[in-house]
């Protein structure tokens, strides 16, 4: 088995001007593709060559000798999760009623959720990710550094935003907050809902 490059489910210019085709050409075509290629190079001729992506990540997590493979495999997962967290379809941008109620239950209001997500994304020092997660049924916003992702008993990622500079620099230069605010308008809440309802 090799790790396959996954297709985007929208065209590279579908999210303009929020994310430009030029950004996708580099972010998807170069950065993401490199993580996929590096992962395949690092698993070749090892027992991990027959594992799926999540199994590779779990196997390598926290092990110094597999740090490089963990970083690349986790970045493949994170980027595919990010592509799926974005949508150009109006129906996917609607928050399902139960999820909307749970956002109010756990953050106080939708506006408070947006503020928390924005602040968390902006405060992440250096490269990383901002996530909406379910922590044993409670909705939370967390950030992770570099290639790290939210993992653990009862933790399910629902949506993520890439806050590495390569995600926004061509379109927003240093203005990470403007990028995050804009991307919050094209989040795929249907994807979040599917993740929320997934079993452990
Ligand atoms: Mn990225």
- Say what percent of the chain tops pLDDT 90: 96
Query: How far is ligand 1, taken at its centre, from the CA of residue 168, in Å?
Result: 9
How remote is the CA of residue 94 from the centroid of ligand 1, in Å? 25
Task: For the chain, give every residue range classified as CATH 1.10.287.990.
Answer: 21-84
SS3 87: coil
* C-alpha distance from residue 135 to each of 132, 139, 150, 152, 156 (Å): 10, 6, 10, 9, 7
Look at residue 200 and tell me whether its pLDDT is greater than 90.
Answer: no
What is the model's pLDDT at position 61? 95
Instruction: Write the pLDDT tens digit of every residue in 79-110.
Output: 999 999 999 999 999 999 999 999 999 999 99
Residue with tokens 């250096």: 126
Residue 198 has pLDDT above 80, yes or no: yes
In the chain, CATH 3.55.40.20 covers 90-196
Calculate how far, in angstroms, residue 97's C-alpha sits from the geometric centre of ligand 1. 30
**How much distance in Å is there from the Cα of 190 to the middle of ligand 1?**
22
Query: How much distance in Å is there from the Cα of 118 to the middle of ligand 1?
Result: 17
Output the pLDDT for position 97: 98
What are 127's two structure tokens? 């490269």
Q: Give the H/E segment covering residue 22.
A: helix 21-26
Q: How far is the C-alpha of 121 from the C-alpha of 115, rounded, in Å? A: 10
The residue behind tokens 């570099």 is: 146
Does residue 1 carry a pLDDT above 70? no
Cα of 35 from ligand 1 centre, angstroms: 10
CATH architecture under which domain 90-196 falls: 3-Layer(bab) Sandwich (3.55)
| CATH 1.10.760.10 is the classification of domain 21-84 | no
Strand ranges of the sheet holding 138-145, from the earlier edge strand across to the other edge: 138-145, 128-135, 155-162
User: Which ranges constitute the DSSP H helices of 44-196?
Assistant: 53-60, 67-85, 97-107, 110-123, 169-172, 176-183, 189-196
CA distances from residue 128 to 59, 121, 146 in whole angstroms, order as listed: 21, 8, 4
pLDDT of residue 199: 77
Residues 114-172: tens digit of each pLDDT: 999 999 999 999 999 999 999 999 999 999 999 999 998 999 999 999 999 999 999 99
- Give the tens place of pLDDT for each residue, 14-39: 999 999 999 999 999 999 999 999 99
Q: Average pLDDT for residues 181-198, to the nearest whole number?
A: 97
Q: What is the pLDDT of residue 23?
A: 98
């Amino acid at each position: 088995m090799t790790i396959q490059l996954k297709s985007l489910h929208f065209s590279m210019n579908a999210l303009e001007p929020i994310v430009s085709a030029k950004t996708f050409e580099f972010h998807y075509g170069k950065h993401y593709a490199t993580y996929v290629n590096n992962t395949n190079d690092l698993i070749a001729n090892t027992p991990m060559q027959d594992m799926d992506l999540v199994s590779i990540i779990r196997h390598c997590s926290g092990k110094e000798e597999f740090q490089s493979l963990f970083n690349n495999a986790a970045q493949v997962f994170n980027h595919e999760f990010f592509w799926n967290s974005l949508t150009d379809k109006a129906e996917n941008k609607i928050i399902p009623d139960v999820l909307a109620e749970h956002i109010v239950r756990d953050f106080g209001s939708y506006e408070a959720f947006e503020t928390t997500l924005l602040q968390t994304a902006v405060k992440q020092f250096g490269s990383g990710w901002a996530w909406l997660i379910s922590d044993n049924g409670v909705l939370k916003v967390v950030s992770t550094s570099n290639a790290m992702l939210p993992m653990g008993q009862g933790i399910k990622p629902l949506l993520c935003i890439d806050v590495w500079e390569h995600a926004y620099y061509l379109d927003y230069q240093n203005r990470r907050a403007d990028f995050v605010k804009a991307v919050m308008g094209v989040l795929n809440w249907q994807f979040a809902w599917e993740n929320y309802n997934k079993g452990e």
